[in-house]
Amino acid sequence: MDKLNEVAQFVSHYGYIAIFILVFLQEIGVPNPVTNELVLMFGGYLSYFHSLSLIRVVITVIIADVSGTCLLFFSFYFFGNWLFNHKPKWLPLKSGAIFRLKRLVERRGYLGIFLGRLTPFLRGYVSVAAGIVRFTPRKFVTIVTFSALTWSGGLVTFGWLIAPYWNIAIDNLGIVQNIVLLLLVAAIITFSGIYVLRNKSGKTDIGTTKPSPSLELE
């Protein structure tokens, strides 16, 4: 709770800059003192009481989200083979997880990236995997912009909605996190259903990646 209070004071004092920094760092794999979900919801909470503008908070988190994940994507798009073969100590990524997500991106393309970016704990890995398989950059940026609007913008909006009950929500943080998880599951099911229906009568477009060099994965 002390860490949460420290982050709340940091965001309250520095506003949009603090929100951008915290979200951006989380997206590139630098852990925050509190979860990214709480940072996003707290931004919505502040906007409810007019400390910040809701629209500006949403724009800030979307830019931070897309900037962070694109930094990961392009790093592995250009240097993925070298990074995995040399395995620098500052890169705490599990080769097995990346390999499985690499196959998911290759099979599912757009949907795999979009849904992966809506899945907690997999978000950063998906960006790495997309870079490794050399997914088309323009299409990747488009997809992650929509996922940022859904994930980051959605959590800010959720924080705005529960702002009148914020103290109760913090006291029952586990319940709130379960509600967020259920909403994410509902979003994933919805988008998956739309994707399946749109491609039911035709063949799914899988030509979204470029050949990538072989990686020595464990």
Q: Is 213 contained in some domain?
A: no
Whether residue 167 is contained in a domain is answered as: yes
Please identify which residue in the block is written with the tokens 């989200």.
Answer: 65
Choice between 96 and 164, residue whose per-residue pLDDT is larger: 164
Look at residue 204 and tell me if it is in a domain: no
Q: Is residue 45 part of a domain?
A: yes
Radius of gyration of the chain (CA): 18
Question: pTM of the entire structure?
Answer: 0.74
DSSP 58-101: HHHHHHHHHHHHHHHHHHHHHHHHHHHHH--TT----HHHHHHH
pLDDT digits over 143-179, tens only? Answer: 999 999 988 999 999 899 988 888 777 766 666 666 6
pLDDT of residue 80: 75
Q: pLDDT tens across 33-58, in order?
A: 888 888 999 999 999 988 899 999 99
Tokens standing for 199? Answer: 């491609």
Structural domain containing residue 100: 2-199
Residue 91 within any structural domain of the chain: yes
90 located within any domain: yes
Buried residues in 11-49 as b, exposed as e (16+ CB within 10 A): beeebbebbbbbbbbbbebeeeebbbbbbbbbbbbbbbe
